Structures are given as structure tokens and as C-alpha cells.
């Protein structure tokens, strides 16, 4: 592990060794947890994250996020979408386009107790 950790550190790969026997439930749970984190990171890599409105809150730099650091750590890219573009796009969507989206989102749900107007409003929002 000592030799491998040196190589992984040198090439910039995060690693976390897990020590113990595979018949120990704690060890298996830790391996499963780390595997899920790794899978999520791979899924996020090269994705785009949309930010509607200002990408940074004016005057609150401590509340801002670092797009470059986010890209370096996860491979994700932040894409800014202006509020005007968002509102214009939403207003151009017709009701017939909303229903297929709702069907896809609601797959596997139990009973739905909202009316069509509420569905349209929720899909648009």
C-alpha cells in the first residue's frame, strides 16, 4: 500500500485504503460506501451544471462557488443561464410538451392527487 499510495498521490488520484477482512461487515460497508462515491464522481465528471440568474450573488463572495475548483475536483462545468433566456424559453413551451416530461418524471410513483393545472405549473417551475 505504501508504494501504491506514493504513485497515486504523484499522479493526483484520490485513494482511501480499507483494511480488514471481507467477512467483517464494517469493512464491506466502507468499501460499498467508497464505491458509491466513486461511481457518483464518475457520473458527474464532464457534466454541465446550469445556474439560472447571476452565477455569483453580488456582494456575497463567501457564498459564491469556485467554478475552476469544481471542474478540477469533479470534472463538472458550470454554465450560466440568464434569467431572461430562462423565462423566454419557459414561456415558449406548449402544454403538449409538458405531459411527456411529467410522465417520465412520475414513473414508478403511486397515486397522484394533483390536477393537470398543478402538474403543468410544477413541470414549468
In this prediction, residue 23 carries a pLDDT of 94
What value does the mean pLDDT take over residues 45-52? 82
CA distance 32 to 30: 5
Tell me the pLDDT band of 61, cut-offs 50, 70 and 90.
low
103 vs 124: which has the higher pLDDT? 103
What value does the mean pLDDT take over residues 120-125? 63
Runs of H (alpha helix) within 45-106: 67-74, 83-92, 95-105
pTM over 0.75: no
> Over the chain, what is the mean pLDDT?
80
Amino acid at each position: 500500500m505504501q508504494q501504491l499510495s506514493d504513485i497515486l498521490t504523484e499522479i493526483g488520484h484520490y485513494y482511501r485504503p480499507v483494511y480488514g477482512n471481507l467477512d467483517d461487515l464494517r469493512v464491506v460497508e466502507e468499501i460499498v460506501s467508497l464505491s458509491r462515491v466513486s461511481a457518483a464522481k464518475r457520473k458527474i465528471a464532464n457534466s454541465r451544471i446550469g445556474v439560472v440568474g447571476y452565477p455569483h450573488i453580488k456582494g456575497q463572495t463567501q457564498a459564491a462557488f469556485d467554478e475552476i475548483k469544481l471542474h478540477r475536483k469533479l470534472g463538472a462545468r458550470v454554465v450560466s443561464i440568464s434569467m431572461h433566456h430562462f423565462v423566454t424559453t419557459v414561456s415558449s413551451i406548449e402544454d403538449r410538451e409538458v405531459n411527456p416530461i411529467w410522465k417520465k418524471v412520475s414513473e414508478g410513483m403511486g397515486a397522484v392527487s394533483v390536477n393537470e393545472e398543478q402538474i403543468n405549473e410544477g413541470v414549468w417551475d
